[in-house]
Amino acid sequence: MTLELFFNYLKEELNITLDFIQQNQFLSYINFYKEENKKYNLSTIVDDEEIIKKHLIDSVYIAKYVNFSSFLVADLGSGGGFPAIPLAIIFKQAQFHLFETRNKKADFLMATIKLLNLTNATIHKVRVEDVNSLGLRNHFDYVIARAFKPLNVLVELALPYLKIGGLLCAYKGRNYLDEIQVASNAIRLVGGHLEKIEEYSLSDTNDLRSLLLIKKIKDVTKFPRSYAMISHKPL
């Protein structure tokens, strides 16, 4: 798949039309990502077609169900910038906060938003579980997370960031039912409710993916615990 086909996909499947600046931002992002990947080992996916299919389309597919415009969005474990950077390019009126503790990847993200002039993106090189000391509890409308922690760990880390009624949008693979089964008690304990499950495949591949939308229905202040405790005894 080429970028032109990706732009057509956005228009035809998601009803998103990009302007010239946004199209150039996607082109610059892919080129910069490929070059920096040689230094930072961001992903094993390195050619244009695979990046577009497996990273870009996967990142933006959520726009079929969620309109982030004018909302505050946290991306936990941002890594190479997926899904937050593509979504920040598309939703120019939203504010995206990318959390990444690994120095090299955080440096890459900061260089990326500077290169693309993404004024609606901010990088936080902090530990995700420090939500209270960061003053960000009950702060965000949405939390997004892709390839970041098992669901039972993710909900404990993510839901404290959300306002009551906010949504955690968890990008998962084909084994999402197993993760839900393991995490069902954790979701309840931290004040969440599984609202929606969406299955999809990437472009013309058989690569089954899923989106889990979990609403925060109450704030349970004893979570999150320290990460040592989360790791030692996950919910």
In the Cβ-directed half-sphere of 114, how many Cα atoms lie within 13 Å? 7
What confidence tier does 113 reach under pLDDT thresholds 50, 70, 90?
very high
What predicted TM-score, i.e. pTM, was given to this entire model?
0.96
pLDDT above 90 for 155 = yes
pLDDT above 90: residue 207? no
Strand pairing report for 95-99 and 121-124: parallel
Q: Residues of the chain with pLDDT > 70: what percent?
A: 99
At 15, is the pLDDT very low, low, confident or very high (cuts 50, 70, 90)?
very high
Tokens at residue 1, please? 């798949």
Pairing of strands 95-99, 72-76: parallel
Do residues 23 and 10 touch, judged by C-beta distance below 8 A?
Answer: no
- The pLDDT tens digits for 65-94 are 999 999 999 999 999 999 999 999 999 999
Cα-Cα-Cα-Cα torsion 79, 115, 40, 59, nearest 10 degrees, comes to 30
Cβ atoms within 10 A of the Cβ of 109, count?
Answer: 28
Instruction: Round the average pLDDT of the chain to a whole number and report it.
Output: 95
pLDDT reading at 203 higher than 70: no
Both tokens assigned to 232: 């030692």
Which residue, 95, 94, 154, 110, is CA-closest to 128? 154
Q: What is the rounded CA–CA span in Å between residue 28 and residue 196?
A: 34
Mean pLDDT over 171-196 rounds to 97
How far from 23 is each of 5, 90, 116, 139, CA to CA, in Å? 12, 10, 11, 31
Q: Once rounded to an integer, what is the mean pLDDT over residues 22-32?
A: 97
Q: What is the mean pLDDT of residues 13-39?
A: 95
- Tell me the pLDDT band of 43, cut-offs 50, 70 and 90: confident
The answer for residues whose C-beta is within 8 angstroms of residue 217's C-beta and 6 or more apart is: 164, 165, 191, 192, 193
Which three-class secondary structure state does DSSP give residue 165?
strand
- Mean pLDDT of all residues in 219-234: 95
Q: What CA–CA distance (Å, rounded) separates 45 from 104?
A: 18
Distance CA 87, CA 73 (A): 10
Instruction: Specify the DSSP element, H or E, that contains 10.
Output: helix 3-14
47-67 pLDDT, tens digit each = 888 899 899 999 999 999 999
> Quick one: pLDDT at residue 84?
98
Q: Please determine, for residue 153, whether its predicted confidence score (pLDDT) is greater than 90.
A: yes
Least confident window among 45-54, 168-177, 219-228:
45-54
Residue 140: pLDDT above 80?
Answer: yes
For residue 113, give the nearest of 134, 145, 84, 147 by alpha carbon: 84
